[in-house]
Structure 1
Amino acid sequence: MQYINHYASPLGGITLGSDGEALLGLWFDGQKYFPDILPKEWKSAELPIFQQTKRWLDIYFGGDIPRFTPPLRMHGSALRQCVWKALLEIPYGQTVTYGEIAGRVAKGYGLGSISAQAVGGAVGHNAISIIIPCHRVVGANGSLTGYAGGITKKVGLLKLEKANMDKLFVPKEGTAL
Protein backbone atom coordinates (compact mmCIF):
# COMPACT_ATOMS: atom_id res chain seq x y z
CA MET A 1 0.00 0.00 0.00
CA GLN A 2 1.14 3.53 -0.66
CA TYR A 3 0.24 6.55 1.42
CA ILE A 4 -0.03 10.30 1.02
CA ASN A 5 -0.06 13.27 3.32
CA HIS A 6 -0.05 17.04 2.87
CA TYR A 7 2.13 19.92 4.01
CA ALA A 8 1.35 23.63 3.80
CA SER A 9 4.54 25.43 2.79
CA PRO A 10 5.05 29.19 2.37
CA LEU A 11 5.29 28.53 -1.39
CA GLY A 12 2.10 26.46 -1.63
CA GLY A 13 0.69 23.05 -0.83
CA ILE A 14 2.93 20.01 -0.98
CA THR A 15 1.87 16.38 -1.31
CA LEU A 16 4.06 13.70 0.28
CA GLY A 17 4.06 10.07 -0.87
CA SER A 18 5.38 7.02 0.95
CA ASP A 19 5.37 3.23 0.94
CA GLY A 20 5.07 3.38 4.74
CA GLU A 21 8.81 3.24 5.37
CA ALA A 22 10.51 5.75 3.06
CA LEU A 23 9.58 8.92 1.24
CA LEU A 24 8.74 8.20 -2.41
CA GLY A 25 7.69 11.66 -3.47
CA LEU A 26 7.42 15.30 -2.50
CA TRP A 27 5.56 17.45 -5.02
CA PHE A 28 4.22 20.96 -5.08
CA ASP A 29 0.50 20.56 -5.67
CA GLY A 30 -0.19 20.76 -9.39
CA GLN A 31 3.42 20.57 -10.54
CA LYS A 32 4.43 18.89 -13.78
CA TYR A 33 4.60 15.08 -13.42
CA PHE A 34 2.49 15.37 -10.24
CA PRO A 35 2.59 12.66 -8.81
CA ASP A 36 3.64 10.28 -11.56
CA ILE A 37 4.81 7.45 -9.31
CA LEU A 38 1.79 6.95 -7.07
CA PRO A 39 -0.59 4.12 -7.92
CA LYS A 40 -4.27 4.75 -8.52
CA GLU A 41 -5.06 3.40 -5.06
CA TRP A 42 -3.46 5.03 -2.03
CA LYS A 43 -4.43 5.86 1.51
CA SER A 44 -4.16 9.16 3.34
CA ALA A 45 -2.35 8.59 6.63
CA GLU A 46 -0.17 10.22 9.26
CA LEU A 47 2.96 8.06 9.40
CA PRO A 48 6.33 8.49 11.16
CA ILE A 49 8.01 9.08 7.76
CA PHE A 50 5.62 11.96 7.10
CA GLN A 51 6.23 13.42 10.56
CA GLN A 52 9.99 13.24 9.96
CA THR A 53 9.64 14.83 6.49
CA LYS A 54 7.44 17.61 7.87
CA ARG A 55 10.05 18.29 10.56
CA TRP A 56 12.68 18.53 7.78
CA LEU A 57 10.43 20.93 5.82
CA ASP A 58 9.72 23.05 8.92
CA ILE A 59 13.46 23.50 9.47
CA TYR A 60 14.08 24.20 5.77
CA PHE A 61 11.25 26.72 5.35
CA GLY A 62 12.30 28.28 8.66
CA GLY A 63 15.53 29.30 6.90
CA ASP A 64 17.83 26.74 8.49
CA ILE A 65 19.70 23.79 7.02
CA PRO A 66 18.20 20.45 8.09
CA ARG A 67 20.97 18.27 9.54
CA PHE A 68 19.24 15.00 8.63
CA THR A 69 17.56 13.45 5.61
CA PRO A 70 14.41 11.37 5.95
CA PRO A 71 14.65 7.87 4.46
CA LEU A 72 14.25 8.22 0.69
CA ARG A 73 13.33 5.62 -1.92
CA MET A 74 14.00 6.87 -5.43
CA HIS A 75 12.42 4.97 -8.32
CA GLY A 76 14.06 5.35 -11.72
CA SER A 77 16.68 4.11 -14.14
CA ALA A 78 20.32 3.76 -13.13
CA LEU A 79 21.12 7.04 -14.90
CA ARG A 80 18.35 8.89 -13.09
CA GLN A 81 19.45 7.41 -9.75
CA CYS A 82 22.98 8.63 -10.40
CA VAL A 83 21.77 12.13 -11.31
CA TRP A 84 19.58 12.32 -8.21
CA LYS A 85 22.50 11.26 -6.01
CA ALA A 86 24.57 14.03 -7.61
CA LEU A 87 21.79 16.51 -6.77
CA LEU A 88 21.99 15.51 -3.12
CA GLU A 89 25.62 16.69 -3.15
CA ILE A 90 24.81 20.28 -4.19
CA PRO A 91 25.35 22.44 -1.11
CA TYR A 92 22.51 24.50 0.35
CA GLY A 93 22.37 27.95 -1.24
CA GLN A 94 24.55 27.06 -4.23
CA THR A 95 23.72 26.30 -7.84
CA VAL A 96 25.31 24.09 -10.49
CA THR A 97 24.62 23.74 -14.19
CA TYR A 98 23.13 20.80 -16.04
CA GLY A 99 26.51 20.45 -17.77
CA GLU A 100 28.34 20.23 -14.44
CA ILE A 101 25.99 17.48 -13.28
CA ALA A 102 26.48 15.70 -16.63
CA GLY A 103 30.25 15.80 -16.09
CA ARG A 104 29.95 14.37 -12.57
CA VAL A 105 27.61 11.60 -13.69
CA ALA A 106 29.79 10.72 -16.71
CA LYS A 107 32.82 10.48 -14.44
CA GLY A 108 30.87 8.24 -12.04
CA TYR A 109 29.94 5.95 -14.96
CA GLY A 110 33.48 6.05 -16.38
CA LEU A 111 32.18 7.64 -19.58
CA GLY A 112 33.57 10.48 -21.64
CA SER A 113 30.34 12.43 -21.54
CA ILE A 114 26.60 12.42 -20.94
CA SER A 115 24.40 15.04 -22.52
CA ALA A 116 23.08 17.90 -20.43
CA GLN A 117 19.67 17.11 -21.99
CA ALA A 118 19.73 13.58 -20.52
CA VAL A 119 20.55 15.12 -17.15
CA GLY A 120 17.73 17.62 -17.64
CA GLY A 121 15.27 14.77 -18.16
CA ALA A 122 16.39 13.10 -14.95
CA VAL A 123 16.33 16.36 -13.00
CA GLY A 124 12.83 17.13 -14.27
CA HIS A 125 11.52 13.72 -13.19
CA ASN A 126 12.91 13.95 -9.66
CA ALA A 127 9.94 12.88 -7.54
CA ILE A 128 11.41 14.10 -4.24
CA SER A 129 11.82 17.78 -4.93
CA ILE A 130 13.32 20.18 -2.39
CA ILE A 131 14.98 17.38 -0.37
CA ILE A 132 16.66 16.18 -3.57
CA PRO A 133 17.41 19.78 -4.59
CA CYS A 134 16.68 19.92 -8.30
CA HIS A 135 15.88 23.64 -7.86
CA ARG A 136 19.64 24.25 -7.49
CA VAL A 137 20.33 23.27 -11.12
CA VAL A 138 20.47 26.11 -13.66
CA GLY A 139 21.31 26.56 -17.32
CA ALA A 140 24.91 27.20 -18.37
CA ASN A 141 24.02 30.83 -19.14
CA GLY A 142 22.36 31.37 -15.74
CA SER A 143 18.84 30.65 -16.93
CA LEU A 144 16.48 29.49 -14.19
CA THR A 145 14.91 26.84 -16.34
CA GLY A 146 13.68 23.29 -15.98
CA TYR A 147 11.86 23.21 -12.64
CA ALA A 148 8.73 21.03 -12.69
CA GLY A 149 7.27 23.03 -9.79
CA GLY A 150 7.42 26.21 -11.83
CA ILE A 151 9.82 29.13 -12.06
CA THR A 152 8.19 31.09 -9.22
CA LYS A 153 8.77 28.25 -6.77
CA LYS A 154 12.34 27.72 -8.01
CA VAL A 155 13.11 31.41 -7.44
CA GLY A 156 11.42 31.24 -4.01
CA LEU A 157 13.47 28.24 -2.94
CA LEU A 158 16.76 29.80 -4.09
CA LYS A 159 15.93 33.08 -2.32
CA LEU A 160 15.03 31.17 0.85
CA GLU A 161 18.50 29.58 0.68
CA LYS A 162 20.05 33.02 0.08
CA ALA A 163 21.63 31.77 -3.16
CA ASN A 164 23.55 34.35 -5.17
CA MET A 165 21.00 35.40 -7.80
CA ASP A 166 23.19 38.08 -9.44
CA LYS A 167 23.98 36.05 -12.58
CA LEU A 168 20.70 34.13 -12.72
CA PHE A 169 17.67 35.15 -14.77
CA VAL A 170 14.16 34.05 -15.59
CA PRO A 171 13.89 32.99 -19.24
CA LYS A 172 11.32 34.80 -21.37
CA GLU A 173 9.99 31.44 -22.61
CA GLY A 174 10.65 27.78 -21.90
CA THR A 175 9.65 24.75 -19.89
CA ALA A 176 10.06 26.33 -16.47
CA LEU A 177 7.35 28.91 -16.96
Structure 2
Amino acid sequence: MKNCRDPTKNTLLFDVRSLGKSAAFILFLPLFACAEAHSEQSPYDIWSGRYVYDSDGGRTVGGSAITATYTLSIRPANQPSNCELSVDGFQTNQHIICSLEGTKDHIRIAFKSFGDGRLVNAFSISEFQSGEPLFDLEWAKGRLLTRWIGLLGESRPKERRAGSYFVRMN
Protein backbone atom coordinates (compact mmCIF):
# COMPACT_ATOMS: atom_id res chain seq x y z
CA MET A 1 0.00 0.00 0.00
CA LYS A 2 1.41 3.38 -1.04
CA ASN A 3 1.08 6.00 1.76
CA CYS A 4 1.80 9.71 1.73
CA ARG A 5 0.91 12.82 3.68
CA ASP A 6 -0.97 15.68 2.12
CA PRO A 7 1.26 18.68 2.95
CA THR A 8 -1.75 21.08 2.99
CA LYS A 9 -3.66 19.03 5.56
CA ASN A 10 -2.79 16.95 8.54
CA THR A 11 -4.20 13.75 6.99
CA LEU A 12 -2.74 10.50 5.78
CA LEU A 13 -3.53 9.61 2.16
CA PHE A 14 -3.05 6.29 0.41
CA ASP A 15 -3.63 4.80 -3.00
CA VAL A 16 -6.85 2.73 -2.73
CA ARG A 17 -5.90 0.78 -5.86
CA SER A 18 -3.08 -0.86 -3.93
CA LEU A 19 -5.57 -2.43 -1.49
CA GLY A 20 -7.06 -5.87 -2.09
CA LYS A 21 -10.79 -6.00 -2.90
CA SER A 22 -11.77 -7.25 0.56
CA ALA A 23 -9.64 -4.60 2.31
CA ALA A 24 -11.18 -1.83 0.20
CA PHE A 25 -14.68 -3.14 1.01
CA ILE A 26 -13.93 -3.17 4.74
CA LEU A 27 -12.42 0.31 4.53
CA PHE A 28 -15.49 1.85 2.83
CA LEU A 29 -18.18 -0.13 4.66
CA PRO A 30 -18.49 2.47 7.47
CA LEU A 31 -19.10 5.19 4.85
CA PHE A 32 -22.04 3.26 3.42
CA ALA A 33 -23.39 2.64 6.91
CA CYS A 34 -23.24 6.37 7.70
CA ALA A 35 -25.01 7.25 4.45
CA GLU A 36 -27.71 4.67 5.22
CA ALA A 37 -28.20 5.99 8.76
CA HIS A 38 -28.41 9.59 7.53
CA SER A 39 -31.03 8.74 4.91
CA GLU A 40 -33.24 7.17 7.61
CA GLN A 41 -33.12 10.18 9.94
CA SER A 42 -36.41 11.47 11.25
CA PRO A 43 -37.63 14.81 9.86
CA TYR A 44 -37.43 16.05 13.47
CA ASP A 45 -33.69 15.38 13.45
CA ILE A 46 -33.08 16.84 9.98
CA TRP A 47 -35.15 20.01 10.61
CA SER A 48 -34.12 20.42 14.25
CA GLY A 49 -33.68 24.13 15.07
CA ARG A 50 -35.50 27.39 15.70
CA TYR A 51 -37.35 29.21 12.92
CA VAL A 52 -38.69 32.76 13.30
CA TYR A 53 -41.10 34.87 11.25
CA ASP A 54 -41.83 38.49 12.16
CA SER A 55 -45.20 39.47 10.72
CA ASP A 56 -46.05 43.07 9.92
CA GLY A 57 -49.80 43.51 9.67
CA GLY A 58 -49.74 47.29 9.26
CA ARG A 59 -51.31 49.65 11.78
CA THR A 60 -54.63 50.02 13.56
CA VAL A 61 -56.87 53.02 12.99
CA GLY A 62 -55.34 54.46 16.17
CA GLY A 63 -51.82 53.97 14.83
CA SER A 64 -50.71 50.94 16.88
CA ALA A 65 -48.44 48.49 15.08
CA ILE A 66 -50.02 45.12 14.28
CA THR A 67 -47.06 42.79 14.58
CA ALA A 68 -46.59 39.21 15.65
CA THR A 69 -43.58 36.92 15.98
CA TYR A 70 -44.01 33.27 15.02
CA THR A 71 -41.38 31.00 16.57
CA LEU A 72 -41.24 27.37 15.48
CA SER A 73 -39.02 25.13 17.62
CA ILE A 74 -38.20 21.66 16.33
CA ARG A 75 -36.17 19.31 18.50
CA PRO A 76 -34.77 15.83 17.73
CA ALA A 77 -37.33 13.02 17.71
CA ASN A 78 -36.14 11.50 20.99
CA GLN A 79 -36.93 14.66 23.00
CA PRO A 80 -40.32 15.51 24.54
CA SER A 81 -42.29 18.41 23.07
CA ASN A 82 -40.26 18.24 19.89
CA CYS A 83 -42.46 20.57 17.82
CA GLU A 84 -43.79 23.81 19.30
CA LEU A 85 -45.10 27.01 17.74
CA SER A 86 -45.41 30.28 19.65
CA VAL A 87 -47.24 33.30 18.26
CA ASP A 88 -46.70 36.47 20.28
CA GLY A 89 -47.67 40.00 19.36
CA PHE A 90 -50.55 42.38 18.88
CA GLN A 91 -53.57 40.92 20.71
CA THR A 92 -52.19 37.39 20.45
CA ASN A 93 -50.30 35.04 22.71
CA GLN A 94 -50.60 31.43 21.56
CA HIS A 95 -48.55 28.35 22.32
CA ILE A 96 -49.23 25.37 20.06
CA ILE A 97 -47.91 21.83 20.33
CA CYS A 98 -47.51 20.58 16.78
CA SER A 99 -46.47 17.52 14.86
CA LEU A 100 -44.57 17.28 11.63
CA GLU A 101 -44.06 14.84 8.83
CA GLY A 102 -42.03 15.05 5.70
CA THR A 103 -38.60 14.66 4.20
CA LYS A 104 -35.25 16.44 4.28
CA ASP A 105 -36.58 19.04 1.78
CA HIS A 106 -40.23 19.45 2.82
CA ILE A 107 -42.23 19.24 6.06
CA ARG A 108 -45.85 19.82 7.01
CA ILE A 109 -46.53 21.31 10.43
CA ALA A 110 -49.86 20.18 11.90
CA PHE A 111 -51.83 21.18 15.00
CA LYS A 112 -51.71 18.71 17.89
CA SER A 113 -53.02 20.80 20.80
CA PHE A 114 -52.62 24.13 22.49
CA GLY A 115 -49.80 24.46 25.03
CA ASP A 116 -52.08 23.45 27.91
CA GLY A 117 -52.94 20.18 26.15
CA ARG A 118 -56.49 21.24 25.28
CA LEU A 119 -57.98 21.41 21.79
CA VAL A 120 -59.60 24.79 22.48
CA ASN A 121 -57.87 28.13 22.95
CA ALA A 122 -57.93 30.34 26.06
CA PHE A 123 -61.43 31.54 25.05
CA SER A 124 -62.72 27.93 24.69
CA ILE A 125 -62.87 28.26 20.91
CA SER A 126 -61.82 25.37 18.72
CA GLU A 127 -59.65 27.04 16.07
CA PHE A 128 -58.07 23.85 14.70
CA GLN A 129 -58.76 20.13 14.69
CA SER A 130 -56.05 17.76 15.93
CA GLY A 131 -53.93 16.81 12.91
CA GLU A 132 -55.07 19.83 10.85
CA PRO A 133 -52.20 21.17 8.70
CA LEU A 134 -51.04 24.66 9.68
CA PHE A 135 -48.30 25.30 7.10
CA ASP A 136 -45.57 23.67 5.04
CA LEU A 137 -41.88 24.50 4.99
CA GLU A 138 -39.78 23.59 1.99
CA TRP A 139 -36.19 24.13 0.89
CA ALA A 140 -36.27 25.16 -2.77
CA LYS A 141 -33.29 26.59 -4.66
CA GLY A 142 -31.53 27.42 -1.39
CA ARG A 143 -34.52 29.33 0.04
CA LEU A 144 -36.83 28.33 2.88
CA LEU A 145 -40.39 28.68 1.57
CA THR A 146 -43.58 28.73 3.63
CA ARG A 147 -46.95 27.63 2.27
CA TRP A 148 -49.71 28.74 4.62
CA ILE A 149 -52.56 26.27 5.02
CA GLY A 150 -54.68 26.62 8.15
CA LEU A 151 -52.79 28.94 10.46
CA LEU A 152 -53.46 32.41 9.10
CA GLY A 153 -57.05 31.87 8.00
CA GLU A 154 -58.93 33.90 5.44
CA SER A 155 -58.52 37.17 7.36
CA ARG A 156 -55.00 37.66 5.96
CA PRO A 157 -55.11 36.51 2.32
CA LYS A 158 -51.96 38.45 1.39
CA GLU A 159 -49.83 36.16 3.55
CA ARG A 160 -51.51 32.96 2.35
CA ARG A 161 -49.28 32.95 -0.72
CA ALA A 162 -46.17 30.85 -0.64
CA GLY A 163 -43.05 32.84 0.06
CA SER A 164 -40.02 33.34 2.27
CA TYR A 165 -41.36 34.04 5.74
CA PHE A 166 -39.51 31.93 8.32
CA VAL A 167 -35.77 32.27 8.86
CA ARG A 168 -33.76 29.49 10.46
CA MET A 169 -32.00 30.93 13.50
CA ASN A 170 -29.85 27.91 14.47
> Same-fold call, TM > 0.5?
no
The one of the two structures with greater contact order (alpha-carbon pairs below 8 A, sep at least 6) is 1
Q: Identify the TM-score tier after normalising by the shorter chain.
A: under 0.3
Q: Between Structure 1 and Structure 2, which shows a larger proportion of strand residues?
A: 2
Answer 1 or 2: which has greater helix percent: 1
